[in-house]
Chains A and B, each alone.
Chain A
Amino acid sequence: MRLIRKKVQKKMNNIKYRAWKIVLLLLVVCLLPVHAVEKSEKEPFNAGKFILGHITDSYFWHITSISEKEISIPLPVIVNSDTRGWFVFMSSKFEHGHSSYQGFEISKSEKHNGKIVEILPDKTEYRPLDLSITKNVASLLISAALLLLIVLSLAKHYKKGPKVAPKGFNGGMELIVVFIQDQVIKPCIGKDYLRYSPYLLTMFFFILINNVLGVIPIFPGGANLTGNLACTGVLALCTFVVVNVFGNKHYWKDIFWPEVPTWLKFPIPIMPFLELFGIFSKPMALMIRLFANMLAGHMIAMVFMSLIFIFGSISVASGSGVSVLAIFFAIFMNFLELLVIFIQAYVFTLLSSVFIGLSRMEPAKEH
């Protein structure tokens, strides 16, 4: 009897059986979209609106919709109207954009689509000063809290005894910190790397944690913060400030009077213009690279999911057929996205440290 049980146990633990169990589970999950299509046949599925709704910022944190009712977490709205002063209220007063509150409403016009506008007495609308906690800001606060938790707990471990190796999660974080510092920051910047490594390590962990939170589909993840041009723009601006404020005299001399033939710099300063353009284009490239990679990753997952609904609106059979393929593709793209997350955070930090190192290079000594 025990021999038979051992044999069955061994078979169940065999990797092929476990793989087939997972495939069966996925196929069962694929039957669910069929049910959803049957219920909501009132308005046709608009793929563009579905995808844009998940990628752009919004005043509620949308969790799910169950049988025509949307379930979302309302977020605080903080607006300062020019004429009437400050207003602070929860965005649930807008009822998902269907009603207005105290003269404010979510606009559906061409110019301010999706943003809060104030309706003046003569029916024109304009945008007040808007400091609301939107979905991206809430995600930023959550990821900042997570970042502080991770980094400060590691720092507290070192305060207790610097000679003891950290264990567990702290050990994993130390591995990453030492990897970035020894492989990326120290070779690129040179001898005074310790001065810039707090900024670069903070930036690496910030980008990493925000990217990872963006890939998780449920609350508290799922807000596309690094896929927002404003966030990556500020990160690139910080690099721009650090590179140019701490650049040494040789760096600035190389920009305004580079060592090129004289006809390229006097009377028409061609090379200085190009170098000046380069000062701005390098952080801009950093900004767009991170933004586009994260946005593209989100959009691909959304597009595969909306394929299911597009085919489902044609017929139930085609919907369920496509859903098997679409879910496999979406999972594969999410694995690729995991790789892209690490690579993009690493490349942003690497390029920032290369720029900082280049701006602090000593001139080559004459032999």
Chain B
Amino acid sequence: MLSTIILQAVAGGASLAALAKFGAAIGAGIAAIGAGIGIGRIGGSAVEAIARQPESANDIRMNMIIAAALVEGVALFAIIVAVLAIVM
């Protein structure tokens, strides 16, 4: 059903720039979903680990922050690609 909508829009004469914006917005949304799931899982396991062993909270917190920064980096690659799709 989605493909028929897109085909109708192309047949109706949607310009390349408009399609690029459409694709970029959807791509950015999917990137946000991916980042949310990834960092949510990292946070969840970190909190569970702290609940098991409260005295190692500092080590776990540092590792969680590093892993979250790396996952967020990947999500930001997708945002940069989306911006490039709009601009170029």
Seen from chain A, the residues whose Cβ lies within 8 Å of a Cβ on chain B are 183, 285, 288-289, 291-293, 296, 343-344, 346-347, 350
Do the beta carbons of A288 and B66 come within 8 Å of each other?
no
Do the beta carbons of B72 and A293 come within 8 Å of each other?
yes
Do the beta carbons of A347 and B76 come within 8 Å of each other?
no
Interface 0/1 of B63-88, CB less than 8 Å to A: 00110011011001101100000000
User: For chain B, what secondary structure do more than half of its interface residues adopt (helix, strand, loop), or is it mixed?
Assistant: helix
Do the beta carbons of B69 and A288 come within 8 Å of each other?
no
Do the beta carbons of B76 and A296 come within 8 Å of each other?
yes
Do the beta carbons of B65 and A288 come within 8 Å of each other?
no
**CA separation between A293 and B76, bound complex, in Å?**
7
Do the beta carbons of A292 and B69 come within 8 Å of each other?
no
User: For chain A, what secondary structure do more than half of its interface residues adopt (helix, strand, loop), or is it mixed?
Assistant: helix
Do the beta carbons of B66 and A292 come within 8 Å of each other?
no
B80 proximity list for chain A (CB < 8 A): 288, 291-292
A285 proximity list for chain B (CB < 8 A): 73, 77
**CA separation between A289 and B68, bound complex, in Å?**
12
**CA separation between A346 and B62, bound complex, in Å?**
11
Do the beta carbons of A347 and B69 come within 8 Å of each other?
yes
**CA separation between A343 and B62, bound complex, in Å?**
10
**CA separation between A288 and B69, bound complex, in Å?**
12
Q: Total A-B residue pairs with C-beta atoms closer than 8 Å? A: 30
Do the beta carbons of B79 and A296 come within 8 Å of each other?
yes
Q: Output the least CB separation between B43 and chain A (Å).
A: 14
Do the beta carbons of B79 and A347 come within 8 Å of each other?
no
Do the beta carbons of A288 and B77 come within 8 Å of each other?
yes
Do the beta carbons of B66 and A350 come within 8 Å of each other?
yes
Do the beta carbons of A347 and B70 come within 8 Å of each other?
yes
**CA separation between A347 and B71, bound complex, in Å?**
12
B69 proximity list for chain A (CB < 8 A): 289, 343-344, 347
Do the beta carbons of A292 and B65 come within 8 Å of each other?
no
B62 proximity list for chain A (CB < 8 A): 183
**CA separation between A291 and B66, bound complex, in Å?**
17
A291 proximity list for chain B (CB < 8 A): 80
B73 proximity list for chain A (CB < 8 A): 285, 288-289, 292-293
A293 proximity list for chain B (CB < 8 A): 72-73, 76
**CA separation between A18 and B79, bound complex, in Å?**
41
CB nearest neighbor in A for B72 = A293
User: In B32-72, which residues have CB < 8 Å from any A CB?
Assistant: 62, 65-66, 69-70, 72
**CA separation between A347 and B76, bound complex, in Å?**
15
Partner of B77, one of A292, A344, A350: A292
**CA separation between A210 and B72, bound complex, in Å?**
21
Q: Output the least CB separation between B39 and chain A (Å).
A: 12
CB nearest neighbor in B for A343 = B69
26 A-B pairs whose Cβ atoms sit less than 8 Å apart in the complex: A183-B62, A285-B73, A288-B73, A288-B77, A288-B80, A289-B69, A289-B72, A289-B73, A289-B76, A291-B80, A292-B73, A292-B76, A292-B79, A292-B80, A293-B72, A293-B73, A293-B76, A296-B76, A296-B79, A343-B65, A343-B69, A344-B69, A346-B66, A347-B66, A347-B70, A350-B66
